Amino acid sequence: MDYLYSYLILAEIYVLLGLSTNLLVGVVGIFSVSQAAVFGVGAYIVGDCLLSGTLSFLPALALAAVACVLLNVLISLPSLRVSGDYFVVTSFGIQLLATATFTNWTWGTGGANGMPGVPPPDLFGASIESTRGILALTTMAMTLGCLAFWLILRAPFGRKLRAIREDELAVAAAGKGVLGAKVSAAAMAGAFAGVAGGLYATYLSFIDPSSFDLDASILLLTMVVVGGARTLWGSILGPFLLLALPQALTLLAIPTTYAATSRQLLYGGLLIAFALFRPQGLLGERL
Amino acid sequence: MLALQLLVNGIVTGSALGVVAVSFALIYATTRVFHVAHAGVYTLGGYLAWSLMRHGVPAIAALLVAMAGCVVLGSLIQILLYARLERRGAAQLVVLIASLGALAVIQNLIAAIYSPDILNFSAAWAGQVVALPGGLRLTGAQIATVVLDFAAFGATLVFAHRTLLGKRIRAVASNPFLAEITRLEPRRVHVYVMAIASALVCLPGVLGPLDYGLQPYGGVTPLLTATIAMIAGGIGSLAGAFGLAVAIVVLQNLALLVMPGEWSIGVTFAIFVVFMLFRPRGLFAGK
Amino acid sequence: MSAYLEIAGVNHSFGGLQALNDCGFAIAEGGIACLVGPNGAGKTTIFNVITGFLRPDTGHVAFRGRPLDGLTPQAIVRAGIARSFQNLRLFADLTACDNVMLALPERAGETPFGALFRPFATARADRRRRGDALQLLDHVGLAARAADRVRNLSYGEQKLLTIARLLATGAELLLLDEPASGLASGALDQVMALLRRLRGEGKTLLVVEHNTRVVQQIADEVLFLHQGHLLAQGSPAQIIADPALAEIYFGGAL
């Protein structure tokens, strides 16, 4: 039972991350391999705040969200100016820089040894210790995230974002601003990732750089590609499916040293297969 | 004194990254694919040479066989992946995702076959230290690196400007549409370019690890530095890409005087940001 | 009295190529003006300059006496000038109706704030938009295809849709880049009838057109551009009768 709860909690947190990545990659159409870095910043901020006792859970989560909004907007700025390919460099660079920071900035992150003992989340003075309580919390967060994503996509704002993905120049010719819409989408993606980071840190109570590295970003991208771009159901299906897959791999009795390798191999294979044969993912629209 | 040694080390490593940059620039200018999986081809070269040399194959023969292996891998990626995606009219984003998938597959296959951890790669001649006037010390591997990489760069320039195939490649790069309607056969030229660039990148892929050891995921950072050099040098300028790669690595090395090596990715990225802000088209941009 | 649209002394070069060379002309309100000239005469370039997509090296553009220099494309649409593209630039993955709705000037629900925190007002505003868009689609004869994705529309339908999207902006001066090119005669007649109807509704049209038959049938005035410079301006009959212009146009003076 605990095992199922743990799966559900993690999957729900990853749905928030999937929504975040889908907004950037699926909706606006920017290639991103740095969403795990933003996720990590959210996790470390909440971890630091709670460990030092400077803020309680909700204000810390809000701080993480704001910081990640700013960070994600900053990261996405080059994509407003330069062509898509250059942004690949920005994205890879941010991810590698973030990993270097998480690993080497011992004072703020605990370095490669990670940050142990992050207290559980608390709401209005009451600490949520039970797995069930945390599941309720992540379910609420996921539901709010999904609602926001759905509202955005069905609104004129969502229509504008889809149009921008196809042809920015034509959007400008229709008398609509492009820059503000892209920045807003990046900001929302940042908020989702920041909140997901805070939930992740408090649930696991231990975080280290390996959860926020390039491989983690590739996992997020795979979730969007497999689930499908620009749809709510695709963003939900991707994380639930991809977090279940490693369990299926354990049935193959792969030695533990090769567990991470075989997982990443699978994600890479999925990326290629979906790009070639099903660019719309399982439940989404064409990338 | 230390500064001089760091400067020389920078030129040595820079020439290796210069060849990575030149090979990447060749692909990017011709096929317009941001070939992220090039990092995997680079890594494969090192592992192939390592396994051959471990079984007593002489270094030169091992290098040549490794090059052949890289040529096969690069051409297969072009034929099975990029060419197919192009025929299906896939968006740039989808090609990037496929390339990232290919990188993940290559890296993790290598990790599964060899080991996910660092392998020590050395040869007696490579470890030998030569003392030069001025107290400079260079290893055999460093001397081989600087000589062979500068030679490879020179050969590439001669090839691009003096040979028929080189001219044909440059014609396809400068005007794909015209190339399509004339008899330059861009599709076939793209395969040639991938083959040549894969052979080229194998050289630093083998020589670099003689200094630092082999790692399945070790190709990403060199590739990132190389792409930054290509952009800073100006798309379409091979000499620009090479020169900037040397300059960036020299700066990275000199930065070691004031900060620890873990942060050199920060130096690289800072250079990229400066270029994006002030000269997004690079120093020696073509038309 | 200042002209309706006035272009004066515009120069622009791409690299070494002088695309516009002291280009200047004025058009009056109402009516259809056709911009003609051989390939490379700078017709699309002057469109790009008027609509703010290209900042000219020198020169001025004024609309109803108000200078447009340095305005963004959006600001120029709001000032009342909108343009279409030769290669259409429709949003192929969106429906015909969405293409038109996007261009409507109404802005409710176009920010994430409105979308998230005023969902009901946003939905109401969007229903209103849908109504307006359907009317415009009906106007160009595409009402039946409203819910279809653009990629499934025929080329002729797509051309009509670009005009509907142009009308949605609410602009009074419409710049059309080859609205009739590539059309079979049935669709061609449909587009020409639509352009005349728009003139009747008080719109002013500046049209780039290659087909001389179309020019003769719809133009009130013809502007002849050559090597980035206005060579002649007059009635269709005058321009077509001029043997020197015909020599440039058909004689391959390029």
Q: Where are the domains of chain A?
A: 2-212
Residue C90 has a pLDDT of 96
Residues in chain A with CB shorter than 8 Å from the CB of B101 are 267-272, 275
| A96/B221 touch (CB, cutoff 8 Å), yes or no | yes
Residue C41 predicted with pLDDT over 60 = yes
Q: In chain B, what's the furthest Cα-to-Cα distance?
A: 59
Is residue A45 pLDDT above 90, yes or no? yes
Closest-CA residue in chain C for A153? C115
* Residue given tokens 């989808």 in the structure block: B94
Q: How far is B45 from chain A (nearest CA, A)?
A: 19
**Contact call for A174 and C94, based on CB within 8 A:** no
- Which segment of A151-155, A255-259, B190-194, C88-92 scores lowest on mean pLDDT? A255-259
Give the other-Cβ count within 10 Å of B167's Cβ: 14
Count of other CB atoms within 10 angstroms of residue B286 = 13
- Nearest CB neighbour to C105, from listed A157, A175, A181: A175
Q: Do A155 and C114 touch (CB under 8 A)?
A: yes
User: Cβ contact (<8 Å) for C126 and A155?
Assistant: yes
| Segment C59-78, tens digit of pLDDT | 999 999 999 999 999 999 99
Mean confidence (pLDDT) of chain C: 92
CB pairs under 8 A between A and C: 103
pLDDT number for residue C254: 43
The sheet with strand C221-226 has its strands ordered as C81-83, C173-177, C204-208, C31-36, C221-226, C229-234
Helix (H) or strand (E) holding C33: strand C31-36
Hey, what are B144's tokens? 């081989």
d(Cα B245, Cα B239) in Å, to the nearest integer? Answer: 10
For residues C205-229, average pLDDT: 92
Name the residue of chain C whose CA is nearest to A149's CA. C116
**Domains in chain C and their CATH numbers?**
5-80+171-250 (3.40.50.300), 92-154 (no CATH)
- Which CATH number is B52's domain given? 1.10.3470.10
| Residue C227 phi, psi (nearest 5) | 50, 45
In a domain, B286, yes or no: no
The residues, any chain, with a CB within 8 Å of residue A83's CB and separated by 6 or more, are: none
Q: Which residues of A touch B111 (CB under 8 A)?
A: 258, 261
pLDDT tier at A254, thresholds 50, 70, 90:
confident
Task: Judge residue A75's burial from the number of C-beta atoms within 10 Å of its C-beta, 0-12 exposed, 13-18 middle, 19 or more buried.
Answer: buried
pLDDT interval class at A87 (50, 70, 90):
confident
Has this prediction a pTM greater than 0.80? Answer: yes
Give the pLDDT of residue A81: 66
Of A96, A258, A275, the CB nearest to B85: A275
Query: Among partner residues A31, A33, A82, which is closest to B276 by beta-carbon distance?
Result: A82
Q: What is the pLDDT of residue C39?
A: 85
Query: Is some CB atom of chain B closer than 8 A to the CB atom of A270?
Result: yes
To the nearest whole Å, the CA of B123 is away from the closest chain A CA by 28
Instruction: Say what the pLDDT of residue B285 is.
Output: 66
Q: Which of B28, B96, B100 sits opposite A218 (nearest CB)?
A: B100
- Residue B130 backbone zone (phi > 0: left; psi -120 to 50: alpha; other: beta): beta
Q: Would you say B71 and A244 are in contact if contact means Cβ atoms under 8 Å apart?
A: no
Domain of B218 in residue numbering reads as 2-278
List the single residue in A81, A89, A96 with the smallest CB-CB distance to B227. A89
Structural contact between residues B233 and B18, judged by C-beta atoms closer than 8 angstroms: no
Q: In whole angstroms, what separates CA B3 from the centre of its chain?
A: 26
**pLDDT (average), residues A199-228:** 96
What whole-number percentage of chain C has pLDDT above 70?
A: 98
pLDDT of C122 > 80? The answer is yes
Please compute, for residue C116, the number of CA atoms within 13 A of its CA located in the half-sphere on the CB side. 12
A169 contacts C53? CB cut-off 8 A: yes
Residues of B in contact with A80 (CB under 8 A): none
* Whether A131 contacts chain B with CB within 8 A: no
Cβ-contact C30, C196 below 8 angstroms: no
Average pLDDT, chain A: 93
Cβ distance A265 to B105 less than 8 Å, yes or no, reads yes
Predicted local confidence at residue C252, as pLDDT: 52
A92 and B268: CB-CB below 8 Å?
Answer: no
Q: Does the beta-carbon distance from C108 to A156 stay under 8 Å?
A: yes
Q: How far apart are CA A258 and CA B73, in angstroms?
A: 23
Interchain pair C112, A160: CB under 8 A = no
pLDDT band at C203 (very low <50, low <70, confident <90, very high): very high
Point out the residue among C89, C111, C123 whose CB comes nearest to the CB of A167: C89
User: Lowest mean pLDDT: which of A141-145, B163-167, C163-167?
Assistant: B163-167
Is A157 in contact with C109 (Cβ distance < 8 A)? yes
Tens-digit pLDDT profile for chain B (287 aa)?
788 899 999 999 999 999 999 999 999 999 999 999 999 999 999 999 999 999 989 999 999 999 999 999 999 999 999 999 999 989 989 999 999 999 999 999 999 999 888 888 878 888 888 888 888 888 888 999 999 999 999 999 999 988 888 888 888 888 777 776 666 788 889 999 999 999 999 999 999 888 788 999 999 999 999 999 999 998 888 999 999 999 999 999 999 888 888 888 888 888 888 888 788 778 876 54
- Specify burial of residue B171 (Cβ count, 10 A radius: 0-12, 13-18, 19+): middle
How many Å lie between the alpha carbon of A135 and the closest alpha carbon of chain C?
A: 25
Neighbours of C253 (CB within 10 A): 11
The single residue listed with the structure tokens 């690949």 is: A88
Query: Is A175 close to C73, i.e. CB distance below 8 A?
Result: yes
Residue from B83, B97, B80 nearest A268 by CA:
B97
State the complex-level ipTM: 0.93
User: Is B74 domain-assigned?
Assistant: yes
State phi, psi for B218 to the nearest 5 degrees: -80, 0
- Element spanning A272, H or E: helix A259-277
Backbone angles phi, psi at C149, to 5 degrees: -70, 145
User: Which pLDDT value is given to residue A83?
Assistant: 64
3-state secondary structure of C241: helix
The torsion region of residue C232 among left (phi > 0), alpha (psi -120 to 50) and beta comes to beta
A280 → chain B, closest CA residue: B94
Q: What pLDDT is stored for residue C253 in this prediction? A: 44
**Chain-chain contact of A176 with C101 (C-beta, under 8 angstroms):** no
Instruction: Work out the burial of residue C143: count CB atoms within 10 Å of its CB; fewer than 13 is exposed, 13-18 middle, 19 or more buried.
Output: middle
| Facing residue for A174 by CB, picked from C107, C108, C169 | C169
The answer to whether residue B168 is domain-embedded is yes
C-alpha atoms less than 13 angstroms from C-alpha of C33 in its C-beta half-sphere:
21
Averaged pLDDT, A33-53? 96
Give the chain C residue whose CA is nearest to the CA of A230: C93
Q: How close is the nearest chain B Cα to the Cα of A144, in Å?
A: 29
* Domains in chain B, number: 1
Confidence of residue A21 (pLDDT cuts 50, 70, 90): very high
Q: Would you state the structure tokens that stand for residue B219, as one six-digit string?
A: 């190709």
Q: For chain A, what's the residue count?
A: 287
Element (H, E) at C83: strand C81-83
Contact at 8 Å (CB) between B78 and B190?
yes
Choose the weakest-confidence range: A218-227, B253-262, C113-122. Answer: B253-262
Cα of A283 to nearest chain B Cα, Å: 17
Pairing of strands C5-14, B137-139: unpaired
According to DSSP, the residues that pair with B119 across neighbouring strands are B214
In this prediction, residues A181-210 reach a mean pLDDT of: 96
pLDDT in the model for residue A86: 80
On whether residue B287 sits in a domain, the answer given is no
Query: Which tokens sit at A263?
Result: 């997982």
